[in-house]
Structure 1
Amino acid sequence: MYFMNSLPQVVYGNPALIPKYKFSLGLPGSSVFVLYANSGFNYDDVISKSSGTVSADLPKLYSRLQNKNYITNAVQADVFRLSFKLNPRIYFTFNITGKFYNRLMIPKDLTGLAINGTVPFIDGTATLSPKVESVGYIESAWGASYAVNKDLVVGARVKLLKGFANATTESSALNVSLNSDYSITAAADLDSKTSGTHNFTQTGFDFSKSWNDYLTNNGYAFDIGATYRFFDRLTVGASLVDIGRITWSNDTYGYSLDKTKATYTFQGIDLNKVLQGDNNYIDAEVDTVKNRFNLTEKKIGSYSTPLPGKVYLSGNYEIRRNFTVGALFFGEFFRERFSPSVTTSVNKHFGRRFSGSLSYTITNNSYNNIGTGLALNGAHFQFYIVGDNLLGAPLALATSGNLNPYLNNSKFFTFRLGLNIVAQWDSPQERQPFSRKKRKKSTANISEGKK
């Protein structure tokens, strides 16, 4: 979507970008975005096919996994959006958007222990602790872009955030060491926090009477960006998006393990005690484990978490009028992980009525992501669909008659669909006020010379 400048939503990637339409309006639910990303595996990595029979292939799955495997889901929906061009230099935007983001980290060792047992970990340590980050909030954002001169445009957006739910893992460790004498030592540590979720586990909780409490988690964020045009045809851009935090104060609970106590060495079962009928032996061992790995839940004070921040670096070259090629580097930084991707695209305006884009993206150890974007522009309405790894679906239907090949090989997917109310397509002359001034000045100088 980044290079489809007929869409008002391009400002979500860089606040300095100025869309083609001078005015646009988005009503509740008129723009929806969905993302799925899996850095570890797809469906074909889990199964094997032989003689028409499909079976789970767990060793194959294990061989495909990274040391840390991240499964990310995100959903966004605009509640309201307004943008308009005040004059040739200034473009204003405002939006209210609901956002949800969830990321689960699964360590390779956790899967390996289930698949291969303990033998591969003898005289070693297996890291088994997953981590989860989940955040839901409503964003109200005010933005503007300003054309400093004919080449440089700068932009920024300020965001007020209202968080409604969160789960975060500050620290998590579950390490299992296996010794050559086959004794097993487990050591754990956990510090996690939640906001807005504990209430729903309580009998008698009535959300209709407490919904306003879910608007007391306040936060802020900002976007900043710029574009610069070289040689009339080449434009480069850079932006930082969603740089901010939310402070959580509603229904906050902490869950922890005491790492000084949460350790236990299992030496095996004493068969003599079992054969002698010591009925309390097994129960005592189980109680020991429960006491040492006792998960503590308690009401806590407020805490804050960062948003998943994003960086965009772009280059866009105009081959001829309304036909461009672009390259985009995108990175998401959140907690301990930086997730990069690279996209190339070809973009074309077919007059004012139709815009199209074709893209290729490398991300999340995935290399089969062919995307597309289409925008149909009516007199006052614009319908669009755009996303990464979208073309795989119709290609699978054309070649096999079903979506299975596409679904089985997908590790990454984005999808944005919407309807905009639009007006006043910006002409090239109106978009270049500085050039017009220079031409008038040059004409005046020529006239003076003739005199």
Structure 2
Amino acid sequence: MKKIFILFFLTFSGLIFAQNKQVLYGFDNIPQGLLLNPGAKTDYKYHVGVPVLSGISASVSTSGFTIADLFREDNVDFTTKFNNVINNLDNNDYAYINSQVEVINAGYKLNKRDYLSVGYYTEFDAFLKIPKEFLELIKDGNAPFINRNFLFSNLATKADVLGVIHAGITRKFNEKFTAGARLKIYSGALNVTSTGNTGSFTTRLGTTSLYQHSLTNLNVNAYSSGLYNENDEFDLTADDITGNIFLGSNLGLGFDIGFTYAIDDQTEISASLLDVGFISYSNKVRNGNVEGDYTFSGIEFLFDNSNPDYWRNLNDEINARIPRNENRESYAVMRPLKLNFGGRYSFGKSRREENCSDMTYNDYYDNALGGQIFSVLTPIGPRFALTGFYERKFSKRLNTRITYTVDDFSNSNIGLGISANIWKINVYTAVDNVLQLTDLAASNSASFQFGINFISR
């Protein structure tokens, strides 16, 4: 039992990432900020990102438990730890991943108003709703849960591996208003989707003292692309991923839009809507569906070794009574829609710069306070994060930001961002949940972003 659940949680611990980049949003005119808001202000003639190193991001977040809860060496046996984790889970707990690597990123100022930016990045995006009820069923068997309905709507997962080619225009309409849009071509290499499931599983005590199991209003769907060959054999290779991640067989379209508006010399607001689009999957597709009402008797959900043929008998019983429909039809998957809304107030006029010329109003202030609201649409509905920040410019070459974020994963997430300019080289880094850096296993959330760009102003 211990080995099986270790494998289960290690598998999904690699899928528990978050997508919010609250430290970078609106920070120091970093070129990667255009990917978070195509209407962000730019003050440079052109930029070129160092290939592969211009934008690397990864973050880890879990709601309901941490890795330390399961694997900390504290003289508590694993079964007890696992039971405690399951007991503390909530039906709405989930795991989320997004990681990106920029392969190419560049931009050029076309004229006094327009800035063109283009690039290509790879992305891994996944969502997993942690099925507490079914984990309890596996852990304890069905005897403690007579007449309880286990809802299949609690089974939801979605994962993509893709590449994104993009091109965007940012226009400065006047001194107060800047807006932009970005067109994206998605190229999917791998997808697994199972969402919108319905139905319930219920165990009752029958008249002959045998358990009676009922599947009611069942409608469970699963879609996959890139995992199985024409013989329904698992067939995932690195060549398949690299061959489809750039203008491969699974293509889609999307766009981003955003703006920045200066209310006055010290106050501005901004917003962006990202990944409005879809991917159509047609390569190595295998889909399945189970639908209907079924009742069968005599099988107990006992997770032990007392019946070595248990799983085979269970599988045979289900196959005999529940028909499964499979097909290889292409299908479309929407990208996870994201919304950012932010505001900032700049203050603390710098005496050393008051008499300088040819400067934007932001250059006159060494401090800023602000906030950001982030939302992402997931298979269980929109999820939100609220961030407040303080920004401090020590010189033209060094800018810092500290953030405080509240979301589903933590109510004490403090982040830190640093942007340094040396000659025409910009190096930035951002770290989330800095108070937990010395013990990441005990943290529900941790992330980082890093990049190097060549910028000409």
Structure 1's 133 and 87: CA in aligned 2 closer, same or farther, altered over 3 A?
same
Q: Indicate whether 1:413 and 2:413 are aligned.
A: no
For 1:319, the equivalent position in structure 2 comes to 347
Q: Indicate whether 1:241 and 2:274 are aligned.
A: yes
For 1:355, the equivalent position in structure 2 comes to 399
Instruction: Pick one of 370, 395, 419 that aligns with 1:375.
Output: 419
For 1:33, the equivalent position in structure 2 comes to 57
Instruction: Summarize deviations over 1:296-349 as a string: whole Å, max 9, x none.
Output: 443x22211100110011011102203111100000013342110011111122
Matches within 5 A, 1:400-439: 403-404=438-439, 406-408=440-442, 410-424=443-457
Instruction: Summarize deviations over 1:371-428 as a string: whole Å, max 9, x none.
Output: 11112211122221113223431xxxxxxxxx33x421x222221111111222xxxx
Instruction: Summarize deviations over 1:149-186 as a string: whole Å, max 9, x none.
Output: 22111111111111111111144356321325573424
For 2:114, the equivalent position in structure 1 comes to 90
Whole-angstrom CA distance in 2 between matches of 1:17 and 1:46: 43
Q: Indicate whether 1:11 and 2:34 are aligned.
A: yes
Whole-angstrom CA distance in 1 between matches of 2:419 and 2:312: 66
Q: Which shifted more, 87-96 or 229-238?
A: 87-96
For 2:320, the equivalent position in structure 1 comes to 291
Structure 2 unaligned spans of 5+ = 1-23, 301-310, 349-364
Instruction: Pick one of 140, 151, 161 that aligns with 2:165.
Output: 140
Whole-angstrom CA distance in 2 between matches of 1:92 and 1:33: 23
Q: Is the 8 A contact 2:39 2:258 kept in 1?
A: yes
For 1:220, the equivalent position in structure 2 comes to 253
> 1:229 offset after TM fit, Å?
1.2
Whole-angstrom CA distance in 2 between matches of 1:205 and 1:63: 36
Q: Is the 8 A contact 1:58 1:115 kept in 2?
A: no
Report which of the two has the higher share of strand: 1
> 1:45 offset after TM fit, Å?
4.5
Structure 1's 225 and 205: CA in aligned 2 closer, same or farther, altered over 3 A?
closer
**Equivalent residue letter for 1:38:** T
Instruction: Pick one of 79, 97, 102 that aligns with 2:103.
Output: 79
Structure 1's 372 and 19: CA in aligned 2 closer, same or farther, altered over 3 A?
farther
Secondary structure at the residue paired with 1:414? strand
Whole-angstrom CA distance in 1 between matches of 2:271 and 2:405: 18
Q: Is the 8 A contact 1:5 1:20 kept in 2?
A: no
The TM-score normalised by the length of structure 2 is 0.78
> 1:285 offset after TM fit, Å?
8.0
For 1:264, the equivalent position in structure 2 comes to 295
Q: Indicate whether 1:196 and 2:226 are aligned.
A: yes
Structure 1's 170 and 118: CA in aligned 2 closer, same or farther, altered over 3 A?
closer
Q: Which has the larger radius of gyration?
A: 1
Matches within 5 A, 1:150-161: 150-161=175-186
> 1:108 offset after TM fit, Å?
1.8
Structure 1's 343 and 191: CA in aligned 2 closer, same or farther, altered over 3 A?
same
For 1:169, the equivalent position in structure 2 comes to 194
> 1:212 offset after TM fit, Å?
4.8
Structure 1's 231 and 82: CA in aligned 2 closer, same or farther, altered over 3 A?
same
The TM-score normalised by the length of structure 1 is 0.79
Structure 1's 61 and 375: CA in aligned 2 closer, same or farther, altered over 3 A?
same
Whole-angstrom CA distance in 2 between matches of 1:12 and 1:284: 52
**Equivalent residue letter for 1:358:** I
Q: Is the 8 A contact 2:98 2:126 kept in 1?
A: yes
**Equivalent residue letter for 1:264:** T
- Cα RMSD for the two superposed structures: 3.0
Secondary structure at the residue paired with 1:417? strand
> 1:64 offset after TM fit, Å?
2.3
Q: Is the 8 A contact 1:18 1:91 kept in 2?
A: no
Whole-angstrom CA distance in 2 between matches of 1:303 and 1:204: 20
Instruction: Summarize deviations over 1:111-146 as a string: whole Å, max 9, x none.
Output: 222344435532321236532201121111111221
Instruction: Pick one of 321, 337, 344 that aligns with 2:381.
Output: 337
> 1:366 offset after TM fit, Å?
1.4
Report the identity percentage.
23
Instruction: Pick one of 338, 357, 363 that aligns with 1:310.
Output: 338
Q: Paired residues, what number?
A: 397
Whole-angstrom CA distance in 2 between matches of 1:248 and 1:137: 11
Q: Is the 8 A contact 1:324 1:348 kept in 2?
A: yes
**Equivalent residue letter for 1:356:** T
Structure 1's 123 and 157: CA in aligned 2 closer, same or farther, altered over 3 A?
same
**Equivalent residue letter for 2:170:** S
Secondary structure at the residue paired with 2:193? strand
Q: Is the 8 A contact 2:68 2:441 kept in 1?
A: no
Structure 1's 38 and 378: CA in aligned 2 closer, same or farther, altered over 3 A?
same
